[in-house]
Amino acid sequence: MRAAAVLIVDGITQPWNSAETADAPSLRVIEAEFRTNPLSARRFVLSDFLGATVLQRVINRLQICEVDPICILGDPHHPASVEFAHSPVDGPQPSFQNLWAEAEQLFLQFAQREIDFVFLIRLGTYAELDFVDLLQFHRENGEAFTCVEGTRGPVHIFVLSLAKGSGWADALKSVLRREPSLSARYKFYGYINPLASAYDFRRLAQDALAGRCDLKPVGKELRPGIWVGEGAAIDRRARILAPAYVGAHAEIMAAALITRGSAIEHHCQVDCGTVVDDSSVLPYTYLGPGLEVTHAVVDGGRLLHLARNIEVQIADRRLIGPTHSASARHRTGVNPLKSPTAHGIRGLVAPTECVEPASFHKAGEIAPSS
């Protein structure tokens, strides 16, 4: 019994097929769009999250279940990329024809390669699904396709049978048109995060760091609840209060404080005395000295204040802004799916050689004087 997977991810400029390349997904994501798009309209499925994107984590989960090949489709020119992923059933579907043609082509290839089942996943939603169990349910049920339903409705994850006479073409069309009327329903009561907004993104970070979901940060857990990525540099006078995450090659300077489920992604710099409290700082972001970043998602010069529900753009690197290496990355077109943290995609735990900072404290502890 063989199973393949097709992931539909808006924002991908060219398809990827794990059968054609043994390398990590060499996808070109529209990098410029990442930084110019308001955080309130961002596709967080492609944003680095505790060391790896949600897309990478879903691929990893499928690979563990021996799903092969895994293909990714997307439409970077989709005018309503975010809305499309979460639009209601009768919402606009302008790129349906392209998507249908590409998906049909893939399914034909799968059928020729004697693949029995295909997972069709529209990312999106992050769900800690047991794909083996889902496949078992689908086989036992005998319907043309099965759709996954969470406690708050469908989660856009489907299984289709490719056997002759299964009518997969009609089923595929039905799924892509979001009209899955004649399907079996797989009830899923596990962890689901719709990742529809920055609020969901922050909640996922908090849940992951607090151990409320299976998602593990990329790096080493130096103290309970404190994760540090490879090559991170933390000044001995900085304080990290659990739960917290410091990504690979991030730099935390003297007297900085990272606390309450904050996540500093890879290659970020937090300058002296700055407090990061209940916030996510996306890769290659610089936070100037003496700031207090609370209840926020920060990316380059953009800060989305979640408590006030407002986004400000600060075009002044003395406060917040992209790091110098971010502009270098943009010039060279480095792929975020091939980021320094991505090589640990299978285990999602990269080795670390970082020097352990002197001052790790559990929440509520008083920092020792240095």
Q: Please report, as ranges, the residues that interact with other proteins according to CB under 8 A.
A: 288, 290-294, 303, 305, 308, 310, 312-316, 318-320
Considering the complex, what minimum distance in angstroms separates the CB of residue 275 from other proteins? 9
Closer to other proteins by CB, 146 or 259: give it.
259
Which structure tokens are listed for 174?
A: 């039905």
Closer to other proteins by CB, 320 or 342: give it.
320
Considering the complex, what minimum distance in angstroms separates the CB of residue 360 from other proteins? 25
Considering the complex, what minimum distance in angstroms separates the CB of residue 293 from other proteins? 7
Considering the complex, what minimum distance in angstroms separates the CB of residue 254 from other proteins? 17
Considering the complex, what minimum distance in angstroms separates the CB of residue 270 from other proteins? 13
Instruction: Provide the residue type at 159 as one letter.
Output: V
SS3 298: strand
Strands 48-49, 52-53: parallel, antiparallel or unpaired by DSSP? antiparallel
SS3 276: strand
Strands 257-259, 275-277: parallel, antiparallel or unpaired by DSSP? parallel
Closer to other proteins by CB, 209 or 276: give it.
276
Considering the complex, what minimum distance in angstroms separates the CB of residue 204 from other proteins? 23
Contacts within 8 Å (CB) and 24+ apart, 147-154: 147/175, 147/180, 147/183, 147/184, 147/185, 147/186, 148/186, 148/188, 149/185, 149/186, 149/187, 149/188, 150/125, 150/188, 150/189, 150/192, 151/188, 151/189, 151/192, 152/192, 152/194, 154/180
CB-CB contact of 183 with 146 (8 Å): yes
Residue 302 CA to residue 256 CA, distance in Å, equals 20
Considering the complex, what minimum distance in angstroms separates the CB of residue 205 from other proteins? 20
Considering the complex, what minimum distance in angstroms separates the CB of residue 286 from other proteins? 13
Measured distance between the N- and C-terminal CA atoms of the chain, rounded to whole angstroms: 60
Closer to other proteins by CB, 312 or 363: give it.
312
Which structure tokens are listed for 320?
A: 């917040």
CB-CB contact of 77 with 13 (8 Å): no
Cα torsion 103, 106, 107, 113 to 10°: value is -170
Closer to other proteins by CB, 68 or 311: give it.
311
Closer to other proteins by CB, 134 or 293: give it.
293
Q: Which of 270, 200, 247 is nearest to 40 (CA)?
A: 200
Helices (H), 65-121: 81-86, 96-112
Closer to other proteins by CB, 102 or 271: give it.
271
Closer to other proteins by CB, 120 or 303: give it.
303
